[in-house]
Amino acid sequence: MVVLTEPDTDHLPIINNSCKSPSFFNDIPVIDLSKPDSKNLIVKACEEFGFFKVVNHDVPMEFISKLESEAIKFFSSPLSEKLKAGPADPFGYGNKQIGQSGDIGWVEYILLSTNCEFNYQKFASVLGVNPESIRAAVNDYVSAVKKMSCEILEKLAEGLKIHPTNVFSKLLKDEKSDSVFRLNHYPQCPDIQEFNVKNLIGFGEHTDPQIISVLRSNNTSGLQILLKMAIGFPCHLIRIHFSSMLATRCRYITYTHQILYLSNEIVEVMTNGRFKSVKHRVLTNTLKSRLSMIYFGGPPLSEKIAPLPSLMEGEESSLYKEFTWFEYKKSAFKSRLAENRLTLFEKFGAS
């Protein structure tokens, strides 16, 4: 097992101890992809939660296990070796530093392009294997997750009664799709009580920019998703679990399930704000290390992003200025993790 170094608590962000500790909440939407009504349930889950757990998908367990075991081998290598596969600028190995704007967390990660020409040599050297074997493991998993993502996005379009139904999925299927794949490893954090610190941040609060994120984790808690509650939210389950929520309206839930779909910033724009991108973060775990693998499905760089006319009702006007994914990425690159990146592209200022 890898331990990065002793926690440098002067530099790593911590959670303000005055906040109530986050709640466990497992009654989140579960979408069974084999069921005919899944298209309507996907729309409902995106509107009310911005995320859902996926079951009965066709991502083979052997692809998941193979890639997870390669990732564990990589992250178990000596730091001096792993650093040879860095820095993550943007692709490569990164340690504690997230992005280029000064965010840090108790995490090490590998960021890869899903482009078929991507060179795996530096990762293969750390593992002492042939780069083609790493490419095959990544491609098998990513292709299966991409296929599942397209199926979800087509059901989403169907549920929204948009024609053609490939309006979102074609962006991921395009050979120029700017999709990325990320492996995050949160080493088991040494007893942080010793350092008089609670809740060290693994990955700070943010929303993901692309179209969708599909996240698989090794069943270790850490991920938290911000649940936004409108006054009088109709779901009785939530009232039972969060009786104090109607006053606070917003609260983090801790999530340990396995394959999870998150709705992102570009879908927020394409639906003219109907689906909100969902805020999430990762806290460290003092008992177990967490491994997560995330496929971020993105559009081609030159793709013009704007609300879909077929979703605009009556006199409804666009909340956003049109932009290309390249312009958005360029601006996101300069932003801090927690910033609202959409504000710059809103027509009427922050809401």
Ligand X SMILES: O=C(O)CCC(=O)C(=O)O
Contact window for Fe ion (CB under 5 A) among 68-76, 160-168, 201-209, 338-346: 201-209
Residue 226 or 306 with smaller CB distance to Fe ion: 226
For residue 187, the 8-state DSSP code is P
Beta bridge partners of 296: 180, 213
Among 46, 223, 227, 267, which residue interacts with ligand X (rule: CB under 6 A)? 223
What is the C-alpha to C-alpha distance for residues 58 and 150, in angstroms, rounded to an integer?
Answer: 12
Residue 51 or 120 with smaller CB distance to Fe ion: 51
Interface map 273-302 toward Fe ion (x if CB under 5 A): ------------------------------
- Assess whether 341 carries a catalytic annotation: no
Least distance in angstroms from the C-beta of 279 to ligand X: 10
Beta bridge partners of 24: 254
Among 48, 108, 154, 208, which residue interacts with Fe ion (rule: CB under 5 A)? 208
Q: Which of 216, 251, 290, 341 is catalytic?
A: 290
What is the C-alpha to C-alpha distance for residues 299 and 261, in angstroms, rounded to an integer?
Answer: 17
Residues 6 or more apart whose Cβ sits within 8 Å of residue 26: 256, 257
Among 54, 126, 225, 294, which residue interacts with ligand X (rule: CB under 6 A)? 294
Residue 265, interface with Fe ion (CB under 5 A)? no
What is the C-alpha to C-alpha distance for residues 220 and 256, in angstroms, rounded to an integer?
Answer: 6
Q: CA-CA distances (angstroms) from residue 95 to 138, 203, 222, 232, 292?
A: 21, 12, 18, 43, 15
Residue 185, interface with ligand X (CB under 6 A)? no
Residue 82, interface with ligand X (CB under 6 A)? no
Q: CA-CA distances (angstroms) from residue 189 to 18, 272, 283, 289, 297?
A: 21, 41, 10, 8, 30
Residue 217, interface with ligand X (CB under 6 A)? yes
| Contact residues: Fe ion, CB under 5 A | 208
Q: Write out the catalytic residue numbers.
A: 290
Q: Applying CB under 6 A, which residues contact ligand X?
A: 182, 184, 203, 208, 215, 217, 223, 280, 282, 292, 294
